[in-house]
Amino acid sequence: MKTTTETRRRFLFQATSSVGLMLTAPMIASIVSGCETDETAAPDLSGLTVVVADYPELSVVGGITTVILEGLNNSDPVFISRIDVNTYAVFSAICTHQGCQVFDIDQQADSVECPCHNARYAKSDGSVVQQPDSGEATDLPRFPSTFNSSTGILTINP
């Protein structure tokens, strides 16, 4: 048979263990939640950078290139167009008429063309210069950007 002292010790042990667990539970929950990652969270898109020298097409004013920058424009292609010595425009390469990809078919032309319905957009800013054969298109979405002439880096701020 157990003595009163043993029963009292067992009770005190269980009571202090329970209190200890209650006091540390929030801390444990905090540590566990800090280890979790939210894979659905949007990536930090501020300050996507492009080294302009990596694109020979942009070495001259009026040059344009098509690139895919992960996280920008739903990871669909964008145009980077050199407007003047230190100014670039960045805009979507997806036609606003029916979602086809727009191409720079003629490097000498002032516009890019959607091969699906012949809509044309200005290389300088993505504005509509020719509506599609049927329906209507709007200007291509443009992304704000800044160019650092000292580093040759174009920063795109979605």
Which pLDDT belongs to residue 38? 47
Residues 85 and 67: their CA atoms lie apart, in Å, by: 20
| pLDDT the model gives residue 25 | 59
pLDDT band with cut points at 50, 70 and 90 for residue 106:
confident
Q: How does pLDDT run across 49-101, given as a tens digit for each residue?
A: 999 999 999 999 999 999 999 989 999 999 999 999 999 999 999 999 999 99
- pLDDT tens for 25-51 read 566 566 555 555 444 444 444 579 999
Exposure class string for 55-77: b at 16+ Cβ within 10 A, else e? beebeeeebbbbeebeebbeeeb
pLDDT tens for 107-117 read: 788 999 999 99
What is the C-alpha radius of gyration for the chain, rounded to an integer number of angstroms? 30
- Cα separations in angstroms, 106 against 16, 67, 113: 80, 17, 9
Secondary structure (DSSP) of 41-88: SPP--TTEEEEGGG-GGGGSTT-EEEE--TTSGGG--EEEEEEETTEE
